[in-house]
Amino acid sequence: MHSTMLRLLAQEATKGNKPSSTFKAGSFALVVKEITAQFWVKCHPSYVGNRMRTLRIMWSTIQTIRKKSSFGWDDNLKMITCDTKTYQEEVMVHRKHAEYLNKKIEMHDELAIVVEKDTATDNGDSAEFVVDNVEEGVVKKGKNVVESSTTGSGISKSRKRGRAPSNTDDNVLTDLSDQLKETVVALKEINWGPVDYTALYNEVMAMMANSYSEDMLATAFDHLCENEKAARGFLAKNARLRKLWLDGFLFPQL
């Protein structure tokens, strides 16, 4: 699925559908349609957006390693090269860098086409984002119009331009604050060693009791496997917060 998405996005960029650091709205819609048709899974534009953030991080990591004088580059194999000592020293400090050293970087050229402009302009955090738009079933691109201000406690409050906060906003903020507190408490108890993906799979599939289909949970599991921080966060959450996360991931338009 990852390779298919990357290939399709590279094709869209080559066609001129990525004029800046973001794709045109129709590109994400096309990827969603193709993945849904090929893999028989319910795919949402949010999955493509989340995967784009992961791709930006991957590309940024690759470029960071390549800039170090102790590493070489084999352009034929698309591989960062180094000797045994350099490898050991790098992995000791950055364990995750091992997957990029002395190994062919699969679909490197497609990755460069899809995200190279992004990392050159926004370091992975674009000021634009792609959202579901129910109107005519089209995925449209919009500007982020939410501004953030931070309170003394460090919790960010969101407000929309041109509108004073309402009681509903206060209730939402209270709910979010409660959720954050529960998550922080759970994180203190989580094992920060390697993610146990068998346990993660079992916990995700246990949510089937909440009326999610197996295919939907499989899509969520694939996403968590590709995002270690998200996987750790999911494992740290209680059942109620896991359901909230799944609803947000699987039904972003609601």
- List the chain domain ranges: 2-142, 190-250
Half-sphere exposure of 44 (CA within 13 A, CB side): 21
Picking from 51, 5, 106, the residue whose alpha carbon sits closest to that of residue 223 is: 51
Task: Report pTM.
Answer: 0.47
Q: Looking at this protein, which amino acid is placed at residue 8?
A: L
pLDDT in tens, 96-134: 899 999 999 989 999 999 987 654 444 434 333 333 333
The CB density around residue 191, as the number of other CB atoms within 10 Å, is 10
pLDDT in tens, 211-244: 888 888 988 988 898 888 888 889 888 888 999 9
Tell me, what's the pLDDT at 175?
Answer: 53
Element of type H or E holding 79: strand 79-81
At 192, the pLDDT band (50, 70, 90 cuts) reads very low
Element of type H or E holding 207: none
